[in-house]
Structure 1
C-alpha cells in the first residue's frame, strides 16, 4: 500500500533577510498568521520548524475554530498564553463538563475559539448539536501536532476515533513541523494538499550523539563535564528516570514532569512531581516523559543543557524518532539551548524488519485474518471451532493489532506500525541512527562512542523494576513481533539477547504460552507459581511445593498465624496436597520465631520467618 502523493506548494518564497542586520532572521510566532491566514481547508501544513504559530494563526482567524491538541499539558499552556494576550479562548479537557462548553458557545459573541484534547472533541460536538448545528457548519477544525495521530495510534484509541470525526467536518486541516504522510484514502478522495513552509536560512540544530553501553554512566559523564545550572532531560520511562536519579543520588535536585495519572502514582517516589509545566517549578535536573515532547513553549533566560535518552533494552517505549520526536523536543526551547545530547544504546538489540517485509507481513496477516473471519460465520462452524478461530486470529499480526475497539481496520494503526518499525530500524546500529538524523536535514550532527567495562556499569535494570508488570508485558509483545523472522539465524541471536534481560519470563513464554501469561496479568509471582505447577505436571521438580512456599513468603516479615495458614492452604490446593494446614506447618519450610501480641485488646499468635530450611531449592524466592 503506497502512501498518498501530495502536491507540495511552496507558499513562502519571499525574501526574509532582516535589513537591519543584513542576515536571515528567524520566524516569529506571528509569521505563519501573516503569510497564510486563514489556513485553507483540506490541507496538511508542513511547518518544517516548530514555533511558527499555527495555533496563534487559527486563534486570530476570522471564523469559529476548534484546535485539537494531543495532551492536556499543552492545552493548559497554550490557554494561559492566549488568555494573557487577551484572546477569548476556551480550553476543553477531562475536567471540563459538556454544560460548560455549551455555556461558552451560547454566551460568546463573535468567533468561538476552542482548544481541546481528542476526548474533549466529543463534548464540543455535543454542544454544537444542542445549539442546532449537528453538521458543525461554520466551524474550522485544526488538528495541531498531527503526526501524533499516527505515532500514538497503537495505544491511544481516542486519537483513532477522532479521525472519523475529522472527516465529518466540512472545514478542516492538519498541521505539524514533522508530519507523517497518512495512508487513509479519504485524504486523496477529498483533494487534500500538502503545504510546505521552508525557511531560506540554515535552521539546522546542533546535536551530539552519544553511543553507549550504559546510558546512566554517559549521563553522569555529561553532567560532570558541564556542571550547568539547568538540565532538561527527555526520557520516556519513569522507572528509568527513577533508576538514574537513585543511582546518582539526584533526588533533592530533581523534578519529574509527566501525565496527571503518573504524577499521582509516583508522587512519593520523587521530591518534585508535576503534570503541568511552569517555569517556577523547574530545578537543576528536570525530567520529562513523552507528554511534554510536543507543543510546549520553554522560554529561559539561561540556555540549558538538553539531554534525550533512549535505552531500548530497559524500555522499548523510550525510542525517539530523529525525524519527529527530537525535532519537536529541541523546538521547545524558544531561545535555544547551550548544548544538546542524545544518549542511546543502538547496538543491534532492536527487532525490526525492512519496509518491504513489513508491508508483506501486513498483507499476509490481513488475508489470513479475513479468511478465518469468513470461516467463523460459516454454517459449519460450531462453538468450539469459533473459539479456536478467534484464538488463532489474535496471533495473526500485525493485522490483529490494527483493529479498533469496535473491530474496524484503522489506517492510522497501520501507519503507526510502519512508523514504529522504521524507527526501530534506526536503532539497529549507530550508523543507521546517525543517517536518520542527517536525512532529516534538521540537524548538524557530531558523535562519540562510550564503552564502559562491565564491572563499572551503572545498571538501569534494578531489581525493583526489572520484573515489573509493564516490562513483562512489553517483553511478551517483543517475542510475539519476532515470530515473523522465526527460524532465521537473526531470530536465534536476538532470542538469546532477550533471554538475558528477563530469563524467567523468557522460559514462561515458551513453556506456558502467551495466553497463560495474560491470564497471570503479567505479574511475576503468578507466573512463577504457574511454572512450578507445570514442573509438577511434567514431573521435572519434586520440590515445587517448597519453592512455591519460598516464592509466597518473605523472610523477616511478621505474619499472623491465620494469614500463614490461609496462604499455605492455598498452596496445598494448587499442588494437590490432601492435607489440612496446622498452625506449625510453616516450620516444614522455614526456621521460625513465634510470639503473642495483642491487637485492639485481643491476643493473636504471630510468626517471623528467619531463614529457609532448604536454601539450595529457593529457585524463585521472593526478595
Structure 2
C-alpha cells in the first residue's frame, strides 16, 4: 500500500490514523508520525528508542497529557498518571523506552486495565530493534507484548528487514513523497581522519558545525587535536558525560538544548534518530568514521546517515562523511550471512541431538560445554527460543561492515539506497612519508588488573542505586567481565583485594565459596543432622560413605576428598571404638553440633 505526501504536509494530512497491524515506512523524517499518534483520539503507548526523544516530545506537546516513562520513573508514578487521566477523562498518552515498558505494563495490571485491548501500541524508529539489540538486549522486551495488542503498528523512516514470522500478516504502508527528497552528500574517503576533517572545516568556513561521531574517545581526541575544546559542546549518554568530566571537559550534556550549543557540537549515537533539533541556523553536518580507533563509528547509509540528516527540522547547509576503511573486512551479501546462520543452526542442533542421545556422562558434559559456547547460542533467548531480532542484527551488521571494506563499497552502499546525490571529495589520501598529524586516542588496553579494579569500583558505586539502573549497569559490566562481577557478588571487594585481583586465586576462592554455600545450605545441614546424632558413635568407614551419599542426593560434587573427618565441619567429634575386643573398629563419637 502506498500513500503519497506533498512537501510541507504532515502524515496525519494524508493518513489521519495509523492503521493497525501495519509497518509504516515513511521514507522522510519529521513528517509527524508520532505527532499524529499523540493527537489521535485513542489511548496510546509509544515506544521511543531513548530518553532525549521522550523528554523532547513531552516538552513540545505539553497540552496533550503526555507522560514519559524511562530510568528514574517508577511504576507508582505511572499508576498515579493513569488514575489522574481517568479521573479527568483524558486519553492515555504514554511514551516509554523499551527497557521501561515493563513498568507501564505493571501499572495497567495494578489498576486492572487491559492495555492490550484499550491502547494502541506504536513502536517508533523500529529499525533500532535490529540495530541496537547486540548491545541493548532489553530493547526487545516489549516485543512479545506487542503482538498481544489488538491495535499496533511499527514506524520508521529507515526500515530494515524483519525476519520474525509474526510479521507476515502485517501490511507495509509506504509513505511516498511526491517531491525530490534526495540530499547532497559530500563523500570524503581518507586514510587520515584528522587531516580530512581539518580540510572539511576549512572548506566550510564560518557557521555552526555538528559532528556525529559514535565514540567519545574519538570526540575527545578530535577536540584536542583541533584545539577547539573551549568552543565545543558534546551531547552524549550520562556515563560518557561523567567520563569526559573526569578528563576535565565539563561542557558535556546528556540532553540537547540549543542554548548549550557552541560553534562545534558533537553528538553520539544517542542523538542519531527521532530527536527533533530545532534551531534557527542551518548547521553544517560532519559525520566521522574512524576505523583505526573505533570500529563502532561505522555509519549505515540506509539508516544512520539518513536519520542524522533528518534531525534538523529547519534543514542543514551541507553534510559530509569523512570515513576510513579496512580492506580486511569481508564483503558479504544477505544470502551469505543468512546461509552462515543456517549452518550455525544446523551444527548447533546436531550437537544438541548428540547430547540428548549421549551414552555416557562424560560425553554429555563435553557436548553441553560445546553447546554453551557455540556461536548459534547468541541467537537464542533466555528460554532457548529463536531470537529473530538478533539474527536480523547479525545480517545487518555484516552488511554494514562489508561497506567499509573500501571506498568503492561504501560509495556503492550510498548509491543503492537512492536517497543521496553523492559528491566525491578528492585529496583525502596521504603518503606515509608525509609528516602529518593523526588522531591519538588514549589506549584502552589497560592492565587486566586495572580493568578489574575499575569494574569492582563501579559495582561498589551502584550498591544503593535504583533497582532498574543497577540491573542494567550490572549487566553491562557482566558482559565486559563476567568473572569479576560474579566474584564481587560472591566474595565481595575486600576478598578480591586480598587476592590482589589474581584471576587464578579469585576463581579458586569462588569454587571454595560456592562449595561452602552448598554444604552449608539448610538441606545439607538437615540431612547431616538427621543422619548423625549427638551422643552417638559411628564407624569411621560408615561416616565417610554416608557423607558421600548425602552429596549424591543433593547433587553436590565434593570440593575435596571426603573422609570420615569431613564430619568435623558440622560436628565436634572425638575418636573412639565400637564393637567387642576381638572385632573392635575405629569410630567417631558426636560430642555436639557446631551449627
Shorter-chain TM-score range: 0.7 to 0.9
The residue that corresponds to 1:11 in the other structure is: 3
Secondary structure of 1:11's aligned partner: strand
Alpha-carbon separation, structure 2, partners of 1:569 and 1:307: 43
Moved over 6 A (4+): 517-522, 566-571
Distance 1:80 1:403 in 2: 39
> Cα distance, 1:34 vs. partner?
2.0
Q: Which residue in 1 is equivalent to 2:180?
A: 202
Q: How many residues align?
A: 459
* Separation (CA, whole Å) in 1 of partners of 2:335 and 2:277: 40
Secondary structure at the aligned position of 2:98 is classed as coil
Task: For 2:111 and 2:373, locate their aligned partners in 1 and report how far apart those are by CA, in whole Å.
Answer: 47
Aligned to 1:27: 8
1:263 counterpart = 2:250: no
From 72, 82, 86, the counterpart of 1:95:
72
TM-aligned CA deviation for residue 567 of structure 1: 11
Aligned partner of 1:219 among 197, 203, 208: 197
Q: 1:183 to 1:313 in 2, by over 3 A?
A: same
The answer to whether structure 1 residue 140 and structure 2 residue 120 are counterparts is yes
Structure-2 change in CA distance of 1:119 and 1:569 (3 Å): closer
Structure 1 residues 379, 392: closer, same or farther in 2, change over 3 A?
closer
Note if 1:41 corresponds to 2:41. no
- Offset of residue 89 of structure 1: 0.7
- Higher-Rg structure is 2
Taking a change above 3 Å as real, the CA distance of residues 112 and 437 of structure 1, as seen in their structure-2 partners, is same
TM-score computed with the length of structure 1 as normaliser: 0.69
* CA positional deviation for 1:283: 1.0
How far is the alpha carbon of 1:376 from its aligned partner? 3.3
2:240 equivalent to 1:246: no
Moved more, 147-156 or 128-137: 128-137
Q: Deviations over 1:293-337 (max 9, x none)?
A: 001111222211100111223211111110111000000011111
Q: Residue deviations 1:6-44, cap 9 Å, x none?
A: xxx11227xx4xxxxxxxxx234xx11122121110001
Q: 2:281 maps to which residue? A: 302
Task: Give yes or no for contact 1:312–1:318 (8 Å, CA) kept in 2.
Answer: yes
**Which stretches in structure 1 are left out of the alignment for 5+ residues?**
1-8, 17-25, 474-516, 523-565, 575-623
Partner of 1:228: 206
Task: Determine if contact 1:214/1:345 at 8 Å carries over to the other structure.
Answer: yes
**What's 2:96 paired with?**
116
Superposed counterparts of 1:54-73, under 5 Å: 54-73=33-52
Distance 1:155 1:214 in 2: 29
Secondary structure, counterpart of 1:206 in structure 2: strand
CA 1:200–1:328 in structure 2 vs 1: closer, same or farther (change >3 Å)? same
Partner residue in 2 for 1:359: 338
What does residue range 423-572 of structure 1 map to in structure 2 within 5 Å?
423-449=400-426, 450-454=428-432, 455-462=434-441, 464-467=442-445
1:107 aligned partner: 84
Q: How does 1:596-615 map to 2 (within 5 A)?
A: none
The match for 2:371 among 393, 396, 399 is 393
State how far apart, in whole Å, the 2-side matches of 1:400 and 1:290 are: 28
The residue matched to 1:119 in structure 2 has which SS?
helix
Q: TM-score, normalised by structure 2?
A: 0.72
State the secondary structure of the residue aligned to 1:12.
strand
Find out whether 1:414 has 2:386 as its counterpart.
no
**Equivalent-residue separation in structure 1 for 2:84 and 2:241 (angstroms):** 35
Question: Relative to 1, partners in 2 of residues 1:135 and 1:114: Cα closer, same or farther, differing over 3 Å?
Answer: closer
Q: Is the 2:4–2:178 Cα contact (8 Å) retained in structure 1?
A: no
Instruction: Identify the residue that residue 469 of structure 2 maps to in structure 1.
Output: none
CA distance in 1, matches of 2:75, 2:256: 26
Q: Distance in 2 between matches of 1:264 and 1:569?
A: 25
Cα distance in structure 2, aligned partners of 1:380 and 1:369: 19
Partner of residue 483, structure 1: none
Q: Is the 8 A contact 1:375 1:381 kept in 2?
A: no
Superposed displacement of residue 386, structure 1: 4.3
CA distance, structure 1, for counterparts of residue 115 and residue 311 of structure 2: 36
Structure 2 residues without counterparts, runs of 5 or longer: 452-479, 486-497, 507-595
What displacement does 1:253 show? 1.4
Aligned residue in 1 for 2:161: 181
Q: Please give the root-mean-square deviation of Cα atoms over the aligned residues, in Å.
A: 2.8
Q: Equivalent residue of 1:432, what SS?
A: helix
Equivalent-residue separation in structure 2 for 1:170 and 1:178 (angstroms): 25
Distance 1:111 1:364, change over 3 A: same
- 8 Å contact from structure 2 (residues 331, 403) kept in 1: no
Shift in Å, 1:200: 1.0
- Provide the C-alpha distance between the structure 2 equivalents of 1:139 and 1:45, rounded to a whole number of angstroms: 18
More deviation in 372-381 or 157-166?
372-381
1:233 and 1:163 mapped to 2: Cα distance?
Answer: 33
Q: Distance in 1 between matches of 2:148 and 2:235?
A: 35
Q: Kindly state the Cα deviation for residue 570 of structure 1 after the two structures are TM-superposed.
A: 8.4
Secondary structure of residue in 1 paired with 2:117: coil
Query: Which string of whole-angstrom CA distances, capped at 9 and with x for unpartnered residues, describes residues 39-93 of structure 1?
Result: 110001111110010111001101000010010111111111111xx21111111
SS at 2:12's partner residue?
helix
CA distance, structure 1, for counterparts of residue 447 and residue 174 of structure 2: 43
Contact residue 210 and residue 447 of structure 1 kept, 8 A: yes
Give the secondary structure class of the aligned counterpart of 2:141. helix
Q: Summarize the Cα distance change of 1:469–1:569 in structure 2 as closer, same or farther, 3 Å threshold.
A: closer
